[in-house]
Structure 1
Amino acid sequence: MSPAERGDVLRRVRDSIAVRGEDFAQLITDEMGSPITQSRSIQVGTPLALLDSYIELAETFPFRDIRTSPSGSALVTREPVGVVAAVVPWNVPLTVAVIKLAPSLLVGCTVVLKPSPETSLTTLALAQLFEQAGLPKGVLNVLPAGREVSEYLVGHPGLDKVTFTGSTAAGRRIASICGQQLTRVTLELGGKSAALILDDADLDETVEALRLGALRNSGQVCSLKTRLLISRRRHDEFVDRLRGLVASMPVGDPRDPATQIGPMVTARQRDIVQNYIEIGAQEGAKPIIGGGRSPHDKGWFVDPTVFTDVTPDMRIALEEVFGPVLAVLPYDNEEMAVELANHSQYGLNGAVFTSDLDHGLAVASRIRTGTVEINGNPPGFQAPVGGFKASGIGREAGHEGLEAYVEPKSYGLPHDFAIAQRKKQS
C-alpha cells in the first residue's frame, strides 16, 4: 500500500473511534476505573488528536529524498523497519496503542500488539476497527497476555523493533533482551516529574492547572507533576490552595460524572500506593490532607494525599508512586529549585509556572526532562514525547515518532540522473 492508502486506513479508524467514542469511554472506565468524564475527554480525545496529527504528518514525511553535493548524489529512502512488537500498559490503553500503531502502520510495518491483561477488551475493540477499515489481514495482530509472554515476544528473533511503554524496571529488562540481538527499541518509561512554581506565578491558576496536571486518571499517569517545588516565601499560601483543590475533587464511582478521583486499577496497585503513603509518614513527611485508609469500602480506592515537610531524598520524592499522592518541596532560591527539579533518576516531564514567559523558558531549559509545560500548556502532538535518563530511550509523536519506525537507506546515483529524479519529484 502507498503512504496515502495507509493514511486512508487511519482516517477511517479515526472516524470510527469518533462515532463510537462513548462506547470506548465506558469500556475504559469499566476496565481500569478512569473517571468517566476523563475517559471521554482524555482517554478518547487524545487518540483522536494523535491520529489527526499522524495523518497530517504522513502527507509531508520524506519517504524519498534526493540529495546532491560535491561529494556525491543520493536517493535517500525511509523504509519500514519491519516487524514491530508493541507492548502497551493499562493506564491509557487506547492512547498508547494509537501512539504506536499509527506511525508503524503509516510507514508500512506489521505489528504484534501486546496489551495489558487489565485492558485487553479496549485493545481488541480498536483492532476490530482497523479490520473494518480495510487493513490487510496479518498486518495487525493482538496478543493479550501477561509478562511471561511479553518477555518471549520481545526476545523473538523474528522481530525488527520493540516499542514499550511501562515501568522503568520492565524497560531495563526489555532493553537488555533487545541488546542481545540489536533489536531496535523505543522505551517510554516512568517519571517523577517536577512542577517548579516561581515566585511570580499566579497561584490560583497554578493550582487549577494541577487538577489534571498532577491528578488526572486518579494519579495513574507517568507524566504527572507529583513533585511540587515552591519557595518558602509562598509555601503556606500555595499549600492552602492545594489542600482546597484536593478537597474539592470527589472520590467515588468512576461511572459518576461528578467523580474526579476513581479507584486504582487493581487491588495490588491500591496496596502499592497505600504503602507509599505509609512510608511517607514514617520518613517524617506530613500529610496535610489524606494519608489514611479510604472510607470507600467497595472498590480499590486510595485517599488522595498531599505531603509537606518532604525532603529530596525521601522515597515519596524519588520513586514513582502511580497514584493520587503529591509531595511539596520548599526551595530557598531559583538555583536550588532547578537542582531539586533535576534531583531524580527520571526525566520524562515537568512544568514551570511564572508570569514572565521568557524567564520561564530560561528556567525550563535548565531542567533535564523530555517535556516542560509552561504554565500548564501542553506541547501538542506535532512535538515529540519521551524522556531523559531513566524515563526512556527514543521519542514518540511528531516527526520523530515516524522516524522511529523506519530505516534510512542511501543509493549512490550519477549526478545528472539524481537531478532528473529531483525534477520528477517536484
Structure 2
Amino acid sequence: MITYDGLFIGGTWAEPSDPNLLDILSPHDESLVGRAAQARPADVDRAVAAARAAFDAGTWPNMPPAERIAVLRRLNALREARAEHIAAVITAENGSAGWFTRAGQPSLSRQAAAYLKAAEDLAWEETLAPTDPAATVRSLVRREPIGVVAAVIPWNSPFSAALAKIIPALLAGNTVVLKVSPENSLSMGLLADLLAECGLPAGTISVLPADRETSEHLVSHPGVDKIAFTGSTGAGRRIASIAGQQLKRVSLELGGKSAAIVLPDADLAKFTAGLAFSCLLNNGEACIAQTRILAPRSRYEEVVGAVKQVVETLKVGDPQDPDTFVGPMIRRDQQQRVRDYIETGIKEGARLVTGGPQVPAGLERGYYVTPTVFADVDNAMRIAQEEIFGPVLVVIAYEDEDDAVRIANDSEYGLSGGVWSADEEHALAVARRIRTGTVTINGAPVGFDGPFGGFKASGIGREYGFAGLNTYLEYKTVTL
C-alpha cells in the first residue's frame, strides 16, 4: 500500500492543514490501494504564495531558456526510468487497463520531446525589420512568462494531462500550482517525487490533490495569473466565467463526442482492426474517443455487424491482467452514470446490438460496465449528443458524403474525429470539412508536434509543440 501523508508545496513535502487521509480504492475490487493527504484552501494559499514569491523574486523566470530546458529534460529522464512503476500505480488507482498505461509511457516521452524542441527552436527575443525602409524605429519582440499558472487536470489520464501543462508552463518560465484529482493522489505523488529530484528552484511548483471546492478556490485566487484546465465542458464554462471576471489568461481542453466517418470504399477489416483503439481506449474514459460511428446506408448492417464482433471479443476484467482491454470505470457514480445512459438509449428507441445496462457476469464487485453498441441511432438522441465517458458506441447511418459531414458537425463538441477510406486523399478532403480540432485518417495516432485542442464547446486554446508552449507566453514589444 502507498501512503502520501504530506502535500508537495513549493517543491518540498509539507504537513497538510487537514491531517485526515483519503482512502484510495481499487476500481477493480474496491480494495485499499493507498492513502493520501488532500489539500484544503489554506494549503492552496501556501502554494500560491510560494509560486508568487518564486515568480516575482526568484531565479526561474529569468533563467536562460537553455537552463530551463535542461531541468525539464532531467524530469523526463527521471520519469522514463520509473515508467513501469508509474504505469502500474495508475492502473491500480484508476482502473485503466495495463496495456493502456504501459503504452502511454513512450507517448509521454514524445510529448515532452515536442515541447523541448519547440523551446529550443523558439526565438525568445527577436528584432523585427521595419516594413518601411525609411522608418527609424525598430521593434524588439520578447516572449516572456505569464506568471503563476493554476493547472487543473482530470483523473482519466493523469500523467499525460499533467505533463501537457507543467512542461510548457515551466519551459516558458512560469511557476505552477498543479491541482490533481483525489483519485490520482498516488500517481501524482510519484510525479511530485520526480519534480523534487529534477532541480527546480524552491517555490516553482506545487502538486495538490483536492476536491472541486478547493479547485475553485485555486482558480479564483488573486495570486494566479493563468488557468490551464482539462475536464468537462460544464466545469470549463464555470472556469471561463471566473477567468473572464478577473481577466485571467485561460486555456481549456474540454469534452468531446467525436465521429468516425466510414466512407463507402473503406477497408472494413482495417477499420475494425483500429476500432478499439480509436473508439474504446482507456475503458471509453477518453475525451478523444470516436464514439459516434457514421456508416453509409449501403453498408450499414455490414458495419454494425463488424463493430458488434469487435466489441464482443474485447476482454473485460481485471486491469492488471495483460489480456484485459476494458477495465472498470473510475468510481461507482461513474459506473452508474454510464449504465443510466445505456438505459436512456433503450428508452430513446435505439437498437441494442450488444451489451446493455447489466454488469458483466462475474464482475459484480468493482465498477464494471458491459461494452455496449447501439444501432438505428438518430443523431438527435442523447446517446449521440452527450459525452458518456464509458464503453458505449453508437452507429449512425448517412445517405451520402455531404450527409456524413453534416452529421459529424452536428454536435456542440469539436475535439476529435476520424475518416476511413481506401483513398487517403479523398479522406483528407473530407477531414478538411469536419469542424474539429484533430482528425485522424485511417486510425493514424495523434502526434505531439501539431496543436491539440477543440472547436466549439470542446475548449479554447491548444496544447502540444510550439502552439502549446505559446499558450504560456506573453508578448512584449520594445521599440528602439
Greater Cα shift, 10-19 or 255-264:
10-19
Q: Secondary structure at the match of 2:209?
A: coil
Contact 2:318 2:324 in 1 (8 A): yes
Is this contact kept in 2: 1:166–1:190, CA < 8 A? yes
User: Take 1:370 and 1:322, find their aligned partners in 2: how far apart are those partners?
Assistant: 19
Residue aligning to 1:235: 300
CA contact (8 A) 2:284 2:389 kept: yes
Partner of 1:340: 407
Superposed displacement of residue 46, structure 1: 2.2
Cα deviation, residue 344, structure 1: 0.2
Question: Corresponding residue for 1:245?
Answer: 310
CA distance in 2, matches of 1:306, 1:65: 55
**Structure 1 runs of 4+ off > 3 angstroms?**
none
- Give the alignment partner of residue 373 of structure 2, picking from 306, 326, 348: 306
Distance 1:382 1:29 in 2: 27
In 2: Cα distance, 1:263 partner to 1:397 partner: 29
Query: 1:59 and 1:73 mapped to 2: Cα distance?
Result: 25
Alpha-carbon separation, structure 1, partners of 2:148 and 2:182: 22
Match of 2:92 among 21, 30, 52: 30
- Partner residue, 1:374: 441
Q: Secondary structure at the match of 2:427?
A: helix
* 1:20-99 to 2 correspondences below 5 Å: 20-42=82-104, 44-69=105-130, 70=132, 72-99=137-164
Instruction: Tell me if structure 2 keeps the 8 A contact 1:191–1:320.
Output: yes
Structure 1 unaligned runs (5+)?
A: 414-426
Instruction: Give yes or no for contact 1:82–1:110 (8 Å, CA) kept in 2.
Output: yes
User: Which amino acid letter does the alignment assign opposite residue 410 of structure 1?
Assistant: T
Q: Distance in 2 between matches of 1:35 and 1:238?
A: 26
Q: Does 1:384 align with 2:442?
A: no
How far apart in 1 are the matches of 2:227 and 2:98? Answer: 32
Q: 2:476 aligns with which of 399, 409, 415?
A: 409
Equivalent residue number for residue 199 of structure 2: 134
Letter in 2 for 1:390: A
The answer to which of 85-94 and 375-384 deviates more is 375-384
Q: Residues 77-156 of structure 1: matches in 2 within 5 Å?
A: 77-156=142-221
For structure 2, the residue ranges without an aligned partner over 5 or more in a row are 1-62
The Cα offsets for residues 349-397 of structure 1, whole Å up to 9 and x where unpaired, read as 0001111111111111111000110111134100000000000000011
In the TM superposition, what whole-angstrom CA distance separates every residue of 1:36-60 from its partner, at most 9, and x where no partner exists? 1111002x23222111111122110
2:23 matched to which residue of 1?
none
What does residue range 167-206 of structure 1 map to in structure 2 within 5 Å? 167-206=232-271
Q: Determine helix, strand or coil for the equivalent of 2:243.
A: helix
| Length, aligned pairs only | 412
Contact preservation (8 Å) 2:261, 2:420: yes
2-structure distance, mates of 1:357, 1:256:
37
Question: Do the aligned residues in 1 keep the contact of 2:119 with 2:466 (CA within 8 Å)?
Answer: no
Matches of 1:366 and 1:271, distance apart in 2? 36
Aligned counterpart, 1:318: 385
Quote the residue 1:290 is aligned against. 355
Residue by residue over 1:12-36, the C-alpha shift from the partner in whole angstroms, topping out at 9 and shown as x without a partner, is 1111111111100010001110001
Alignment partner, residue 422 of structure 1: none
**Counterparts of 2:354 and 2:273 in 1: how far apart (Å)?**
17
Amino acid across the alignment from 1:31: E
Give the partner amino acid of 2:65. Answer: P
Residues 85, 112 of structure 1: 8 Å contact kept: yes
Aligned to 1:418: none
Post-superposition offset of 1:67 = 0.3
TM-score normalized by the length of structure 2? 0.85
| Alpha-carbon separation, structure 2, partners of 1:112 and 1:60 | 26
Post-superposition CA distance 1:186-228 (Å, at most 9, x none): 0000000000110111111111111111001000000100000
**Secondary structure of 2:244 counterpart:** helix
For 2:92, what is the secondary structure of its paired residue?
A: helix
Counterpart residue identity of residue 49, structure 1: R
Q: Percent identity?
A: 51
Instruction: In structure 2, give the amino acid aligned to 1:109.
Output: N
- Corresponding residue SS for 2:121: coil
RMSD, matched Cα:
0.9
Distance 2:99 2:463 in 1: 26
Q: Shift of the alpha carbon at 1:129?
A: 0.6
Deviation of the 1:319 alpha carbon: 0.1
Q: Is the 8 A contact 1:9 1:133 kept in 2?
A: yes
1:232-260 Cα deviation digits (max 9, x unpaired):
11111111111111111100000100100
- Asked if 2 retains the 8 angstrom alpha-carbon contact of 1:218 and 1:263, the reply is yes
Paired with 1:195 and 1:231, the residues of 2 have a C-alpha distance of: 12
Deviations 1:303-323 (A, max 9, x none): 000000100110000000000
Query: Of 5, 11, 14, which residue of structure 1 is paired with 2:73?
Result: 11
- Contact 1:190–1:346 at 8 Å: present in 2 too? yes
Contact 2:149 2:169 in 1 (8 A): yes
| Displacement after TM superposition at 1:5 (Å) | 1.2
Q: Aligned equivalents of 1:225 and 1:292: distance in 2?
A: 21
Instruction: Give the SS at the match of 2:298.
Output: coil
CA distance in 2, matches of 1:137, 1:252: 43
TM-score by length of 1: 0.95
Offset from partner CA, 1:264-289 (integer Å, 9 cap, x none): 00001000000000000000011111
Q: Secondary structure at the match of 2:356?
A: coil
Q: Partner letter of residue 246 of structure 2?
A: Q
